[in-house]
Amino acid sequence: MRRFPKNLRPVPIIIEKMIPIQCRGLLFDLDGVLVDSTPAVARAWAGWAREHGFDEPDEVVKKAHGRPSIATIRELLPRADHAAEDREMERREIADVEGVVPLPGAMELLQALPVERWAIVTSCTRALAHVRIGAAGLPKPRYLVTATDVQHGKPNPEPYLKGAQILACPRPTAL
């Protein structure tokens, strides 16, 4: 267990009122910010890992979550047909939406914002993003940036820069 000196221990922060934020546009990640897809992602990747002989499917799940699937596949199966494996993973994730739900407050927040001022920026493919947005019952975004739309996926900033560009927001004015 990590120990902190008494004067540096983490303390809970309680915000009793909303803090106003001024920006021209908002960029939202999908999984883990607007929707919880964790159970579906875990099932898809754990099944894939077992079928490919990985001893620790949970470790594969941890490595895969939050990044483009093709990056995980290239890393874990360097000699595989990456495009075929990526198509199969997308098929699995599209087919499994059980437990994909909106995170608390996501629906209300998106409905309160002008549709032209926000975008979803995600590391999943366009097809999978549409399926998860629909499964969670979220409003359909006018602007969506996916792994399909960029050369370098997250954590590279390219997807967020593209999102800001689509919203016509200079970088410091998008959040």
User: Active-site residues: which are they?
Assistant: 29, 31
Q: Tell me if residue 147 falls in helix, strand or coil.
A: helix
**Residue 24 contacts residue 174 (beta carbons within 8 Å):** yes
Beta bridge partners of residue 31, listed in sequence order: 35
DSSP-assigned letters across all residues of 22-49:
--SBEEE-SBTTTEE-HHHHHHHHHHHH
First to last CA, the chain: 34
Sign of CA dihedral 162, 163, 165, 171: negative
Beta bridge partners of residue 25, listed in sequence order: 174
User: Nearest 5°: phi and psi at 141?
Assistant: -75, 145
**Residue 73 contacts residue 82 (beta carbons within 8 Å):** yes
**Residue 174 contacts residue 26 (beta carbons within 8 Å):** yes
